[in-house]
Chains A and B, each alone.
Chain A
Amino acid sequence: MKQFIAVLHARNLEFLRDRAALSWNLILPLLLVLGFAVLFSDENRAVYKVGYVGELTQYEQLDFFTTKYLEFVRFDSRDKAIAKVDSHRVDLVINLNPTPVYWINSTSPKGYIVEKMLWGSEGQGKFTRQEVHGEEIRYVDWIVPGILGLNIMFSCLFGVGYVIVRYRKSGFLKRLKATPLTPIKFLLAQMISRLILIQAITVIVYTGCDFFLDFQMKGSYVNLFLLSTLGSISMIALGLLVAARMKSEEFAGGILNMITWPMMILSGVWFSLEGTPELIQLFAQTMPLTHMVNGARAIMTEGAGLFDIAREFTILGIMSVVFLFIGASIFRWE
């Protein structure tokens, strides 16, 4: 145990004293959130979003579905689609079976316009009107979980993966190999050190952003913390896997970029993946960031409980175990 604590303590000191890296870990997400809050404070999307439940073929007979400047998004579940209208992420939802019905948010100006378009195309009495009254989710409310997740991803992958490769290249790991320290103790110390620090940083950044922007938090802080902890573990484990044998910092940097860039773009951090090609949505499911962001967003904007995000927890847990097992199995000091 004293070996583990010694390595953990040394790594914590190294991180906290590297002022440049520490500042970057704190300032970057803060700037991103504030920047997006300013940029999208007066969001004015040109395209209206209409959700439909079930297969598209059922709806093709409707003239409404040929209207220009409408984006149609498919939902498997009626409740999910209604939740989107409730939070203003979709302007109107249509369901044909068993009877034609649509939902709009009574507080949404865009919902009002789309409703007029529907009446213009199909006639006013053809559908039953249903109203929801949920508060609008601002873009900043929607994007905060993504940016916090993104910061966790970069910090864990580069802070663990890249650092271990640097240790190996510089010969520090070789020096540790000459001691009785076992690889598993060393890896656990690196993991716990990064986990403690990134969670502390995430709490600070969250609190700081919330102070300025007062964003929505409908769920439990404990659940959010548990999810971000598991998400961080999965990212650290992925970092360990990348760093298990690599000796070149340049190559490791390339591999880490190859992993982080697709996650940054396709994990639903900046835009919803609903309506994107199925292949992209399938690909996004292979990325831990997708599940972390989806879970965090569900907690923060929909008030989801642990049961509601059990799928995200399970996938992140499986990814963590698999990455860790493979990473620890193939790890070499040199």
Chain B
Amino acid sequence: METLLEVKNLIKHFGSVEAVNGISFKIPRGRCLGLLGPNGAGKTTTIEIMEGITEASSGEIFYKGKPQDASFRQEAGIQFQATSLQEFLTVKETLNMFHQLYQQSKTIDELIEMCALEDILDRDTRQLSGGQRQRLLLALALVNDPEIVFLDEPTTGLDPQSRRNFWNLIDGIKERGKTIVLTTHYMDEAYTLCDEILIVDKGKIIAEGTPRDLLEKHFNESIVRLPTDVTENMESQADLAITNKNGWSEIRTDDVEKTIRQLQKQNVSLARMEIRKWNLEDLFIELTGKDLRN
């Protein structure tokens, strides 16, 4: 698959702080790449260097095989983590203004339909809800019909329904063959939307691959969960790998049936038992020892 964007040995210092420390990766055309990491991991700095907003201390970025230049801005769509818009303008006026800034652009009607803005076109941008605002910002990122779209934590702070709606919009962009770079705190979001994931910590990539490959590579176990009050009276825990956390006992196992038989043997009530597979959040904690939202 053709590489659309390539990052080579990216380094960024802020004074003595090393925000990005030698990151390299490639993004194939039409794929959605997720950058995961806790606050301060370097993912926003990385994405802003890729966008051309922040200058790298060293390293190279190639777009369509050539060093990135000023023309990149005509072909990139960007949604920042936090953006303020010009005040006293309506949604439609804001779209019109950004529409005029590019040589090539989608029609306003297409953008309105794509980002479901029909009902809020005449509303002052200061009066939008969180979800409506993110939809408008997404429309602004798509106004130039970009080859590549950067979305920096686009659903942070949204309610679950708005997040789901936003995912549908991103799915729509993927179906149009756009390349997407997404940073997020949410593992379910990364798992649902991203074709490939880079887990970043302390400015370095610590794991990469498709969500499924990453989990399979690191875990072939399941987790059996029981409330702590039912496991604390067990006679023997010797052959079960139990960890207690937030009122729950978690047992890691590669043979769920065998574990259940062991629990039954010790007369443990299974009425509130949960069994789940490892997820990306578990993987992150496993790799870094940190919670993703820290």
| Bound-complex Cα distance A9 to B82 (A) | 24
Q: Quick check: B73 and A178 within 8 Å, CB to CB?
A: yes
| Bound-complex Cα distance A334 to B73 (A) | 17
Q: Quick check: B85 and A13 within 8 Å, CB to CB?
A: no
| Bound-complex Cα distance A91 to B53 (A) | 65
Say if the beta carbon of B51 comes within 8 Å of chain A. Answer: yes
Q: Quick check: B86 and A179 within 8 Å, CB to CB?
A: no
CB contacts under 8 Å to B, within A168-191, are 170-172, 174-181
Chain A residues, CB < 8 A from B83: 171-172, 174-175
Say if the beta carbon of A45 comes within 8 Å of chain B. Answer: no
Say if the beta carbon of B80 comes within 8 Å of chain A. Answer: yes
Q: Quick check: B86 and A6 within 8 Å, CB to CB?
A: no
| Bound-complex Cα distance A111 to B76 (A) | 75
Chain A residues, CB < 8 A from B93: 10, 13
CB contacts under 8 Å to A, within B4-30, are none
| Bound-complex Cα distance A106 to B100 (A) | 65
| Bound-complex Cα distance A174 to B137 (A) | 14
In the complex, which residue of chain B has the Cβ closest to the Cβ of A6? B100
Given contacts A18-B87, A18-B88, A171-B83, contact A178 B97 (CB under 8 A): no
B284, chain A: closest CB distance, angstroms: 28
Given contacts A171-B82, A175-B85, A180-B74, contact A10 B97 (CB under 8 A): yes
Q: Quick check: A3 and B100 within 8 Å, CB to CB?
A: yes
Secondary structure of the A side of the interface?
helix
In the complex, which residue of chain A has the Cβ closest to the Cβ of B124? A17
Total number of A residues with any Cβ neighbor in B under 8 Å: 25
Say if the beta carbon of A2 comes within 8 Å of chain B. Answer: yes
Secondary structure of the B side of the interface?
loop
A104, chain B: closest CB distance, angstroms: 57
Total number of B residues with any Cβ neighbor in A under 8 Å: 28
In the complex, which residue of chain B has the Cβ closest to the Cβ of A18? B88
Chain A residues, CB < 8 A from B52: 178
Give B48-71 as 1s and 0s: 1 = Cβ < 8 Å from A's Cβ atoms. 000111000000000000000010
Say if the beta carbon of A247 comes within 8 Å of chain B. Answer: no
| Bound-complex Cα distance A181 to B88 (A) | 21
Q: Quick check: B101 and A181 within 8 Å, CB to CB?
A: yes
Give A12-23 as 1s and 0s: 1 = Cβ < 8 Å from B's Cβ atoms. 011001100000
In the complex, which residue of chain A has the Cβ closest to the Cβ of B141? A178
| Bound-complex Cα distance A187 to B83 (A) | 20
Q: Quick check: B80 and A10 within 8 Å, CB to CB?
A: no
A217, chain B: closest CB distance, angstroms: 36
- Most chain B CB within 10 A, of A18, A167, A179, A334, is at A179
Chain A residues, CB < 8 A from B140: 175
- Most chain B CB within 10 A, of A11, A178, A180, is at A178
Chain B residues, CB < 8 A from A177: 53
Pick the residue among B76, B78, B80, B97 that contacts A6 (CB under 8 A). Answer: B97
Q: Quick check: A172 and B101 within 8 Å, CB to CB?
A: no
| Bound-complex Cα distance A13 to B92 (A) | 13
Chain A residues, CB < 8 A from B51: 178
Give B87-125 as 1s and 0s: 1 = Cβ < 8 Å from A's Cβ atoms. 111000110111111110000000000000000000000
Say if the beta carbon of A280 comes within 8 Å of chain B. Answer: no
Q: Quick check: A180 and B86 within 8 Å, CB to CB?
A: no
Say if the beta carbon of B236 comes within 8 Å of chain A. Answer: no
Please report A residues at the B interface, Cβ cutoff 8 Å. Answer: 2-3, 5-7, 9-11, 13-14, 17-18, 167, 170-172, 174-181, 334
3 shortest interchain CB distances as A-B pairs: A170-B84, A6-B100, A17-B88
Give 10 new A-B contacts, CB below 8 A, not counting A167-B84, A175-B85: A3-B100, A6-B96, A6-B100, A18-B88, A175-B80, A175-B84, A176-B101, A180-B73, A180-B101, A181-B101
Please report B residues at the A interface, Cβ cutoff 8 Å. Answer: 51-53, 70, 73-74, 76, 78, 80, 82-89, 93-94, 96-103, 140
Between A and B, 10 residue pairs with Cβ closer than 8 Å are A3-B100, A10-B93, A14-B87, A167-B84, A177-B53, A178-B52, A178-B76, A180-B70, A180-B102, A180-B103
